[in-house]
Chains A and B, each alone.
Chain A
């Protein structure tokens, strides 16, 4: 069988915007998002960002986890992989290693990403894989009907925590920074313009870009209105800091995470290191990944495959 080469996206090429509606599936998704759900905001921002950047659906692989957030791949037309709870990141980063020409986006919820997938989150950040990771943060387990999540505030009451949670919420921005992510931002479904700009930046960033995306859950977390009003730190004179500076970013994140449950919700870019090489670049520098796309090689009829027989000398 002979294959034509795969479509490879060149990040550096100048591109004309494409029609964002190309990312709308031709099939009506089995409805799981409630009216007023913040997840629609992520979908809109992602479609808009892909269109603005000139992508076509064939060039994108969207890997999702389980939960309401995981259904993003049902609402978004591209190559999709709806995986399992907490495991989107290992699936996504292997696909990117195998075919660097793919634009790989992973998405999941706060339970998916910061709870069950916490181990993968820290290690993917640490390795700084070249991909975008969007975490739908609504501080609740939605699809399982309203249990306390890793981002729920201390004292949060739910059917599984009837006396209120005794756990401090996880600090996803700080965790991401400490883990090694080279781009960390927070945005919110109710800030559509900012959200789209941040997702665009995250996609363009060569490294692990983590976007903590605040998504209100009108069904199970009525307290979601706490997210109003949002302050965009880049638009406000009150929050001056250099988001290229690790220390300043860390301090700012600390304040932001402390303030979240005190009624002040800060969003924006909190850290961006454009100079740290991605994992792919590091591996290439170590001679550990091929210069070209490994996936492409299986499409090349003329490629000379090495054989194990060549290794036999050591055993003779």
Chain B
């Protein structure tokens, strides 16, 4: 085990857990460490059990770790409801009690004895002794109240953390100065220092220390949702329409806050059908537009999605998935919407689907989604999950220092339109069967307002002018042309650096395959396995449609057996691989997790180690051996 610190701050929703952890993570990043956060919160506004983990190391961190080694249990202030029979009344001890299962041996516990009573938890002392936990009860509430305001007990907790981990206060203080001013800043600084002093006076029985590190370049702390929003901005997207739904709201909020100040337009509308239809309308009118939602809202978007395919209108949608079916578990992660995203809407799917694996890929692949949607006139969906949406990770700030690309793609100028094919009295032949110079199936479009460009964009099957046609020959020609685009897109993607990332031993016999946000966890697991002498390599797939048949086939040919890791109950990704390749079914084993929590690296390590010996699943996961579906 490295000298990493996995710091978990727990409390009630609404107690500032999220903001405190973000600031702490940023301070650690600024002082030279690599950080990664993992968020757990209930579908509830105030109270209940919520926590955030900040994993910090002097080496890059790519995933949530296995458990944690420092617990800061703040207490749930909303559990202190003095009214009898109050709903929250019995949850007083939760921030402490609920967090003990994953606390590593030798770990540190700091709890707010102003709000929590450890004696309420029957087996607490016995467990602490058994696992060699170092427990520091501190009256954080009292310190905060005495030095400033009670609500600032988060700051007291951070002060205690710094003292116990031998970490300087300066980076935290500097961050506070950036964020606050006046009396609030003064009070917070006082509480921070006072709490640290109190903790320094204790007898430190633990040996955990905050690691020290250094960055070569300036870092930025970004989430998957940041990556998507900034990718869209850099690709010239200046129109967003949406309806709030967790966790898509994070992208929607970011763009709504930025676009109007950049001369763009953000629209919060009546429902998701409208949202996607607005993005479609704006795109038709010649603007780069985005909409998105999460599972249930994306279901409503299947109408405009199909309309975009048939009218060949560029449309970029984001699907931030959460546990389903239906509204499922609104704040828990899952990859159960894969088939929904691939096949929803009537007819044959003609769309691009990317599933980015981390914050950088979220940015990169959102840019690719725009590029392909506008070059090929079809919808492109970026599917990711609640996990990646909220995970913060440090990235080189320079990574975002790229040229913007507002290019509208395959669009004709008025001069070109004047020369283009027109029907009888002047309708532009927008949907030519075999447009000259466009073997990729793309017939270039015009933008409303251009001379010589008028046509009808119809959701019905149509003649080259766009007018409705049920002629069988025309139908086949149009359908074939539209479907040709997918092969052309695959070719274009194959010419570039692959979106599929191979990691691990060069000539591995055991493969681990996954898609989307599991990437970092799988990489960490593979590294541990290789270190332990296993012959393992992983492939994490981002292109879901058109499917990277060559990349995946090559990988599966190179291994003897392969574990497919995904967060759903039916193995949808494994099904996709088998559907697309039609081979290798005899070597694919599934490792599935669908309890709402992301994988921990050890679960994948144990599954790979147990591959040849019966059931390699842990309590949280399910193992499906080859050939058993």
Residues of A participating in the B interface, judged by any CB pair closer than 8 Å: 1-4, 6-8, 24-27, 29-30, 57-59, 61, 63, 66, 71, 73-74, 77-84, 87, 89-95, 97-99, 101-102, 119-120, 122-123, 283, 287-290, 294-295, 297-299, 303, 305-309, 311-312, 315-316
Contacts and interface: CB of A to CB of B under 8 A. Distances in A.
A295 B234 contact: no
Interface of B: 30, 218-222, 226, 229-231, 233-234, 236, 238-239, 241, 258, 260, 262-267, 269-271, 273-275, 277-282, 284-289, 303-304, 307, 311, 397, 400-404, 406-408, 411, 413-415, 423-427, 447-451, 453-460, 463, 465-470
A316 B427 CA distance: 53
Contacts of B282: 94-95, 97-98
Nearest to B286: A295
Contacts of A63: 281
Given A82-B460, A83-B277, A307 B271 contact: no
A80 B431 CA distance: 14
A316 B265 contact: no
B459 A84 contact: yes
B468 A80 contact: no
A3 B413 contact: yes
A306 B289 CA distance: 16
A99 B427 contact: no
Given A27-B423, A120-B274, A95 B465 contact: no
Contact of A123 (B219, B274, B414): B274
Contact of B284 (A91, A119, A294): A91
Nearest to B451: A58
Contact of B262 (A25, A99, A298, A306): A306
Contacts of A290: 263-265
A273 B614 CA distance: 76
B221 A315 contact: yes
B449 A288 contact: no
A7 B449 CA distance: 5
B419 to A, nearest CB: 14
A249 B275 CA distance: 32
Nearest to B463: A27
A6 B385 CA distance: 40
A90 B236 contact: no
B286 A92 contact: no
Contact of A83 (B30, B233, B307): B307
Contact of B467 (A30, A81, A99, A315): A30
A298 B226 CA distance: 24
Given A79-B454, A95-B281, A123 B269 contact: yes
Contact of B448 (A61, A74, A283): A61
Given A1-B411, A27-B427, A80 B273 contact: no
A92 B271 CA distance: 16
Contacts of A1: 407-408, 411, 413
A101 B448 CA distance: 10
A77 B263 contact: no
Nearest to A121: B270
Given A1-B411, A74-B456, A307-B402, A90 B277 contact: yes
A316 B457 contact: no
Contacts of A316: 30, 218-221, 397
A294 B238 contact: yes
Contact of A94 (B231, B241, B458, B470): B241
A157 B430 CA distance: 44
A101 B469 CA distance: 31
Contact of A120 (B221, B270, B454): B270
B304 A81 contact: no
A7 B241 CA distance: 25
A74 B575 CA distance: 43
Contacts of B267: 94, 97
A305 B467 contact: no
Contacts of B271: 119
A6 B408 CA distance: 14
Residue with the highest number of chain A CB atoms closer than 10 Å, among B303, B425, B453: B425
A47 to B, nearest CB: 14
A115 to B, nearest CB: 14
Nearest to A122: B270
B459 A59 contact: no
Contact of B468 (A29, A58, A83, A299): A29
Contacts of A93: 278, 281
B425 A26 contact: yes
Contacts of B424: 26-27
Given A82-B468, A90-B274, A312-B220, 6 more contacts: A84-B459, A91-B277, A101-B449, A307-B403, A315-B220, A316-B221
Contact of B289 (A89, A94, A308): A94
A280 to B, nearest CB: 10
Contacts of A80: 454-458, 466
The 10 A-B pairs at the shortest CB distance, nearest first, are namely A26-B425, A26-B424, A6-B449, A94-B281, A308-B230, A90-B277, A91-B281, A94-B278, A80-B456, A82-B458
A298 B425 contact: no
10 contacts: A90-B277, A91-B281, A95-B281, A95-B282, A101-B449, A120-B274, A297-B263, A298-B236, A298-B288, A298-B408
Nearest to A27: B467
Nearest to A301: B406
A98 to B, nearest CB: 4
Nearest to B288: A298
Nearest to A283: B265
Contact of A74 (B226, B269, B468): B468
Given A30-B468, A99-B448, A99-B449, A119 B285 contact: no
A123 B270 contact: yes
Nearest to A311: B258
Nearest to A71: B468
B307 A309 contact: no
Contacts of A289: 260, 265
Nearest to A300: B406
Nearest to B231: A308
Contact of A3 (B238, B239, B414, B466): B414
A61 B304 CA distance: 18
Residue with the highest number of chain B CB atoms closer than 10 Å, among A97, A297, A308: A308
A309 B363 CA distance: 12
A79 B274 contact: no
B404 A306 contact: yes
Contacts of B404: 305-307
B233 A307 contact: yes
Given A83-B307, A311-B230, A94 B427 contact: no
A74 B460 CA distance: 11
A90 B315 CA distance: 14
A315 B226 contact: yes
Residue with the highest number of chain B CB atoms closer than 10 Å, among A66, A84, A120, A288: A84
Given A25-B425, A312-B220, A79 B460 contact: no
Contacts of A307: 233-234, 400-404
A295 B285 CA distance: 7
A168 B279 CA distance: 35
Given A7-B449, A26-B425, A298-B288, A73 B304 contact: no
A305 B406 contact: yes
Nearest to B303: A84
Contact of B233 (A7, A90, A99, A308): A308
Residue with the highest number of chain B CB atoms closer than 10 Å, among A4, A90, A99, A120: A90
Nearest to B401: A309
B402 to A, nearest CB: 7
B260 A288 contact: yes
A294 B468 contact: no
B468 A7 contact: no
B311 A81 contact: yes
B273 A4 contact: no
A51 to B, nearest CB: 15
A287 B287 contact: no
A98 B287 contact: yes
Contact of B239 (A4, A283, A294, A308): A294
